[in-house]
Each structure stands twice: as structure tokens, then as C-alpha cells.
Amino acid sequence: MPRARVISAHRAPDREAVRIARGEGAVLGEADTEWPNFVWATLAQGLGGWMPADIFHLDDLGAATAQQEYDTRELDADPGDVLTVEREHAGWWWAHDAHGRSGWIPARALELIQEN
């Protein structure tokens, strides 16, 4: 898997991470002002989090259904940390650190390492 060096610190927000399963419904709210590809999604249990709008299908009545699983967990990282990056979505990478933790980190906080 590709690796990346952290070039600017990232801290996860101080709120519980939320997971949505494929086929699960959500009520979609406003788009994020900093990350316009993300919307606030509230699940039936009342928990909410920022999720990429493109993971949802909207029916004719505006009901949103997740087309894939998504986890809002973010990864704390400091400049110089080297992470293994798995996949990119909407300007964020799902990454793993040397301590076995994983979560999303913004692509702008990373520099991909070119390996030969």
C-alpha cells in the first residue's frame, strides 16, 4: 500500500465517530463550508456526522440511503509521521499509523511518498 508523510498536524474533532451501513437511511442537512462535498448526515439513532454526499442515493421524495458503508473516524497525526494510505475519497485519505490506529486525514495534510 502507498505511504504518505504528514506535512501539517491534524486532530480529530471532539465528537463520537459515526458509522453508517450500506442501505441505512439518513437525514441530510447542510453542506460543509470548508469541505463542500460533505453534508451533515443524521442517522435514525440521532447520531450525526460529516459524510461525503456522493455515498447517498436520494429518491424522488428526497430520502437519503447510503450506497456504501462509511465511518467518520479521523486520525490524529503530526508533521513527520509516516502513514499507510488505503483509499482517497472527497479529498481525504483513509490511513493507518505505526500504532495500528486508522481513520480519515485530509489529503492537504499529506505528501505521498514516491517509492521505487
> Which tens digit of pLDDT belongs to each residue from 35-87?
999 999 999 889 999 999 999 999 888 789 999 999 999 999 999 999 999 99
**Do 45 and 55 lie in a common domain?**
yes
Domain that holds residue 28: 19-71
Task: Give pLDDT, residue 104.
Answer: 98
Residues 34 and 61 occupy one common structural domain: yes
Residues 19 and 70 sit within 8 Å (Cβ to Cβ): yes
pLDDT confidence bin for 26, thresholds 50/70/90: very high
User: What's the alpha-carbon Rg for the chain, to the nearest Å?
Assistant: 15
pTM of the prediction?
Answer: 0.91
Which residues are CB-contacts of 65 (< 8 A; sequence separation ≥ 6)? Answer: 23, 24, 25, 26, 56, 57, 59
**Tally of domains in the chain:** 2
User: CA–CA separation, 17 vs 48, rounded Å?
Assistant: 9
Half-sphere exposure of 4 (CA within 13 A, CB side): 25
Q: Is the pLDDT of residue 116 over 80?
A: no
Q: Are residues 46 and 67 in the same domain?
A: yes
Alpha-carbon torsion, ordered 5, 52, 73, 80, to 10 deg: 10
